[in-house]
Amino acid sequence: MDPSKDNSSITTHVLNTADGVPASRMALSLHRLNTHMMIWNLLTVGTTDEEGHCSELIGSEAFSLGMYKLRFETGQYWENLGQTCFFPYVELVFTITSLDQHIHLPLLLSRFSYSTYRGR
């Protein structure tokens, strides 16, 4: 899917910085914290495409203020490439304080490092 046509308020992009390629076929999931019960509600499960994108993570109706968690199955990803990974999974926990922003959360990943930032 053309990323510019993805209407999700939260988008991601996973890059395999060790090999210099998009991280395709990585399983990921988006969760929102239920503050009444203090448990995580699973919102979406997906897999990155050939470009390392995963479209339609969240619809505008579901997008509300609160604490979210984006989890990437990094161990599984590297295992599929015949390698080990220092990080069995990566969970990015973040807060949404305004509904009129679009949040872009890339993950730049190698077997022994990762980085992320809040983009638009």
Partner 1 sequence: MISQRLQHIKGHILAENKCVEMATPPPSPLSTHVLNTGQGVPGAGMALSLHRLDPRTETWNLLIAGTTNDDGRCPGLITREAFIPGTYKMRFETGQYWKGLGETCFYPYVEIVFTIMEPSQKCHVPLLLSRFSYSTYRGS
Binding site for partner 1 (CB under 8 A): 67, 75, 84-95, 97, 108, 112-118
The CA-based angle 67-71-74, given to 5 degrees, is 160
CB of 106 to partner 1, least distance (A): 10
Q: Which is nearer to partner 1, 80 or 84 (CB)?
A: 84
CB of 49 to partner 1, least distance (A): 24
- Is residue 32 within 8 Å of residue 84, measured between CB atoms? no
CB of 33 to partner 1, least distance (A): 9
Q: Which is nearer to partner 1, 3 or 89 (CB)?
A: 89
Q: Which is nearer to partner 1, 54 or 90 (CB)?
A: 90
Distances (CA, A) of 14 to 22, 24, 34, 49, 64: 6, 8, 26, 10, 24
CB of 99 to partner 1, least distance (A): 15
Which helix (H) or strand (E) element contains residue 38? none
Q: What are phi and psi of 115, to 5 degrees?
A: -145, 155
